């Protein structure tokens, strides 16, 4: 898939998914946006860590709703374009980047701060992998 098509799809993803917060949008741009670089990914890790602290200090909890978490998970159903659809149709990214994307998209409606931590962890694993660290997944 061409970068132009991938970038256009990302813009459509952001446009149709109006429930994404400004924080989510900014972090998604840093990890898969057209200007994403190793530096913007490092910055995303730092900003996610700051967000975790802010939300933890405030006692924030996700806005969970009951539903079928396997066949029709409502934490994705809120979004007109599911993260999985975007990731597959855009040609895909490294597995760690895809996981970080997924966790960032769902954190307000599923596991909250835990999902932000998982997103950060996946970005750190990606950075270690790119750097050639043989223990990148540990």
Q: What DSSP line would sit under 46-79, residue for residue? A: HHHHHHHHHHHHHT-------S-TTTS-HHHHTS
Instruction: State the Cα angle at 3 between 107 and 118, rounded to 5°.
Output: 20
In a domain, 137, yes or no: no
In a domain, 28, yes or no: yes
In a domain, 22, yes or no: yes
pLDDT of residue 85: 93
Share above pLDDT 70 across residues of the chain, in percent, rounded to a whole number? 91
pLDDT of residue 2: 78
Between residues 4 and 119, the one the model is more confident about: 119
Question: What are the tens digits of pLDDT across the range 9-29?
Answer: 999 999 999 999 999 999 999
In a domain, 88, yes or no: yes
In a domain, 41, yes or no: yes
pLDDT of residue 10: 97
**Tokens at 116, concatenated:** 């932000």
In a domain, 135, yes or no: no
Domain that includes residue 61, residue range = 3-130
Domain count, the chain: 1
Between residues 51 and 79, the one the model is more confident about: 51
pLDDT of residue 66: 73
pLDDT exceeds cutoff 80 at 67: no
Q: Average pLDDT of 60-66?
A: 85
pLDDT of residue 65: 76
In a domain, 23, yes or no: yes
pLDDT of residue 74: 64
In a domain, 136, yes or no: no
């Amino acid at each position: 898939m061409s970068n132009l098509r991938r970038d256009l799809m990302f813009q459509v993803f952001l446009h149709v998914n109006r429930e994404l917060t400004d924080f989510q949008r900014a972090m998604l741009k840093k990890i898969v946006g057209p200007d994403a670089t190793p530096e913007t990914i490092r910055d995303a890790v730092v900003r996610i860590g700051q967000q975790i602290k802010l939300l933890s200090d405030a006692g924030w909890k996700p806005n969970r709703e009951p539903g079928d978490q396997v066949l029709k998970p409502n934490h994705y159903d809120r979004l007109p374009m599911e993260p999985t659809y975007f990731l597959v149709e855009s040609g895909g990214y490294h597995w760690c980047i895809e996981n970080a994307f997924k966790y960032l998209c769902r954190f307000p409606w599923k596991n909250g701060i835990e999902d932000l931590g998982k997103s950060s962890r996946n970005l750190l694993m990606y950075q270690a992998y790119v750097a050639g660290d043989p223990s990148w997944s540990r």
